């Protein structure tokens, strides 16, 4: 008999399996007390939160060399409202962010290698498999890794050798995730979560959208992510005044575009990796947004979905200026933002 289908059942299981590290002892010690077990299980997200900060720090010091600037930018990431919320939620997004940081750091460290052993390829495929089995969106790193091998192949004029590396990595990656693919196919008759989401949890509630409007509609859904980065957290009142979100999102996107232009101009291979890493995540959700709009489903690309790209975004924003005072200003603003959201939204909503 097939297991009952719930909202979480169609997602890969690794985050929830890792949560057993805290769930099981708490459940046994408390004799099944729901409150104790619930809050103890949150500790796995706190652990992933701490690890994501560690990898952000390693990435920052690797790229910037200036430890003060790296510390400022890591703190901007660490105290963002979405990062903090996911760090205390029973949700795979913070684990997904942790492995995203680890993946970026590993490939930055490998960016000077001129060849790869089978052992290294095997470990990289295992890292990609673990990422995907935490949250399906991390399959987007296949595109990131492909771009890495293509660029490295052209740089060393050994394109076919690096394509072989990618082919071997892809083979082992599919081998590692094949048990989950088989389970998903035999249980839900698909190997992707989207079909299950459409079938059981979505309604085609939009009118038919003219094809010329679809590109705008698709990109417009990304506004939610930047609103959430600003502190638009969950349902309920109060919320800060709407112009705050509009100015924050507009400024963030504008500064991000300036940073992208700067990275393309300087052609530094490490910064290009940061850009490609963030782009692979965005392209995945661009595809999701297109699929939803074409099929007339409501869609919003939430901040927690793009949390994996938040620290690369912050790095790209800073790279647009490449000045230490800008990092300090970003840090001071993030402190103000944290206190503003705490005092204006969270305390009145939950404690007043």
**Any residues with CB less than 8 A from the CB of 70 and at least 6 apart, and which?**
57, 60, 61, 63, 64
Nearest to 126 by CA among 145, 108, 150: 145
Q: Residue 282: which region, alpha, beta or left (left: phi > 0; alpha: psi -120 to 50)?
A: alpha
- Spatial distance between the Cα atoms of 268 and 270, rounded to a whole number of angstroms: 6
Residue 314, both tokens = 């912050």
pLDDT of residue 2: 45
pTM of the full structure = 0.89
- Spatial distance between the Cα atoms of 279 and 264, rounded to a whole number of angstroms: 13
Helices (runs of H) and strands (runs of E) counted in the chain = 16, 0
Digits of tens for pLDDT over the chain (352 positions)? 444 444 444 578 899 899 999 999 998 998 888 889 889 999 999 999 999 999 999 999 999 988 999 999 999 999 999 999 899 888 899 999 999 999 999 999 998 888 899 999 999 999 999 999 998 889 999 999 999 999 999 988 899 999 999 999 999 999 999 998 888 878 777 776 655 455 544 555 556 667 777 788 788 888 888 888 988 766 656 666 778 888 999 999 999 999 999 999 988 889 999 999 999 999 988 888 887 777 766 667 888 889 999 999 999 999 998 888 999 999 999 999 988 888 877 777 655 4
pLDDT of residue 312: 96
Indicate the burial class of 123 (C-beta count within 10 angstroms; 0-12, 13-18, 19 or more): middle
Residue 334, both tokens = 């993030």
pLDDT of residue 5: 46
pLDDT of residue 79: 94
Each as own residue / partner, the long-range contacts of residues 213-221 (CB below 8 Å, 24 or more positions apart, any chain) are: 214/290, 214/293, 214/294, 217/293, 218/286, 218/289, 218/290, 218/293, 219/286, 219/289, 221/289, 221/293, 221/299, 221/300, 221/301
Indicate the burial class of 117 (C-beta count within 10 angstroms; 0-12, 13-18, 19 or more): exposed
- Spatial distance between the Cα atoms of 225 and 249, rounded to a whole number of angstroms: 9
């Amino acid at each position: 008999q097939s297991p009952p289908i719930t909202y979480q059942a169609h997602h890969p299981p690794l985050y929830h399996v890792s949560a057993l590290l805290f769930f099981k002892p708490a459940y046994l010690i408390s004799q099944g007390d729901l409150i104790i077990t619930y809050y103890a299980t949150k500790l796995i997200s706190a652990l992933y939160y701490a690890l994501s900060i560690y990898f952000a720090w390693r990435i920052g010091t690797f790229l910037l060399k200036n430890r003060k600037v790296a510390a400022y930018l890591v703190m901007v990431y660490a105290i963002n409202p979405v990062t903090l919320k996911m760090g205390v939620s029973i949700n795979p997004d913070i684990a997904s962010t942790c492995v995203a940081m680890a993946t970026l750091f590993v490939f930055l460290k490998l960016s000077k290698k001129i060849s790869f052993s089978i052992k290294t390829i095997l470990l990289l495929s295992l890292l990609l498999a673990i990422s995907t089995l935490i949250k399906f969106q991390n399959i987007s790193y296949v595109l990131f890794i492909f771009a890495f091998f293509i660029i490295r192949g052209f740089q060393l004029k050994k394109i076919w050798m690096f394509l072989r590396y990618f082919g071997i990595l892809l083979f082992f990656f599919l081998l590692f995730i094949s048990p989950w693919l088989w389970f998903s196919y035999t249980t839900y008759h698909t190997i992707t979560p989207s079909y299950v989401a459409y079938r059981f949890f979505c309604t085609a509630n939009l009118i038919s959208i003219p094809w010329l409007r679809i590109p705008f509609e698709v990109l417009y859904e990304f506004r939610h992510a930047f609103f959430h980065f600003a502190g638009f957290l969950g349902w309920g009142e109060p919320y800060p005044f709407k112009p705050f979100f509009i100015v924050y999102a507009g400024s963030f996107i504008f500064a991000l575009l300036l940073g992208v232009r700067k990275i393309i101009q300087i052609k530094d291979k490490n910064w290009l990796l940061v850009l490609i890493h963030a782009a692979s995540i965005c392209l995945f959700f661009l595809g999701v947004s297109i699929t939803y709009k074409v099929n007339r489903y409501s869609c919003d690309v939430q901040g927690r979905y793009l949390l994996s790209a938040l620290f690369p975004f912050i790095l790209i924003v800073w790279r647009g200026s490449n000045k230490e005072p800008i990092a300090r200003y970003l840090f001071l603003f993030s402190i103000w933002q944290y206190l503003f959201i705490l005092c204006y939204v969270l305390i009145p909503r939950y404690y007043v």
